[in-house]
Amino acid sequence: MQISFTLNGRPTTMDVDPATLVAELLRERLNLTGTHIGCDTSQCGACVVHLDGLPVKSCTLLAPALDGATLVTIEGLQGAPGSNRLHPMQEAFRENHGLQCGFCTPGMVMTAVALARDKPGLTEAEVRHGLEGNICRCTGYQNIVLSVMAGADAMHAAKGE
């Protein structure tokens, strides 16, 4: 079947087998390998992308769901237009040592961006609840939580400017 969607701001049309997972489509046909597949059983969150603005697990999403939708992957995040900088959440992960091997990071960042956007003034408990579907094997989460709190503040500060 043919599907048309907006991928990181670009209109995209392609033919897909309906049994294709979005994670597969991104990595194998669109060469967007920033979206990781950690578990492939819907548990780890390494594959989180934004479908019409909402974080979802792309390993548990069939390609037909993209038709008519807007998809943003980790490659689609950016800092202020023209600034040539990372997204404030990405900056915060770098500044706060929020990653070690980096495998879980794209999913962590995508989940965190949605969490911070929906709720200004996040508490630590809200961050931990919001990250329940993202598993990290390296960091022990401490610095990830710090990063998300800092990134959330930076996102809201940037909005206020």
Partner 1 sequence: MKSFAYHQPGGIPEAAKLLSSVAESKLVAGGMTLIPTLKQRLAQPEALIDLSSLADLRGISDDGATITIGAMTPHAQVAASELVRGKIPALAALASMIGDPAVRNRGTIGGSVANNDPAADYPAGTLGLGATIVTNAREIAADAFFLGLFETALEAGEIITGIRFPVPLKAGYAKFKAPASRYALVGVFVAQLPAGVRVAVTGAGAGVFRVPPMEAALSNNFDASAIAAIKIDADGLTSDIHAEADYRAHLVTVMAKRAVGAALG
Ligand X SMILES: Cc1cc2nc3c(=O)[nH]c(=O)nc-3n(C[C@H](O)[C@H](O)[C@H](O)COP(=O)(O)OP(=O)(O)OC[C@H]3O[C@@H](n4cnc5c(N)ncnc54)[C@H](O)[C@@H]3O)c2cc1C
Q: Strand pairing of 70-72 and 10-15?
A: unpaired
Q: Strand pairing of 48-51 and 54-57?
A: antiparallel
> Which residue, 8 or 111, has its beta carbon nearer to ligand X?
111
Does the protein bind ligand X through residue 42 (CB under 6 A)? yes
Query: Smallest gap, in angstroms, from Cβ of residue 66 to ligand FES?
Result: 16
- Give 21's DSSP letter: B
134 binds, among ligand FES, partner 1, ligand X, none (CB under 5 to 8 A by kind): partner 1
Contacts with ligand X: how many residues (CB under 6 A)?
A: 2
Largest Cα–Cα separation, the chain: 45
Please identify which residue in the block is written with the tokens 């909402």: 54
List of residues contacting ligand FES (CB under 6 A): 37-40, 42-47, 57, 59, 99-104, 136-139
Q: Which of 43, 70, 78, 100 binds ligand X (CB under 6 A)?
A: 43
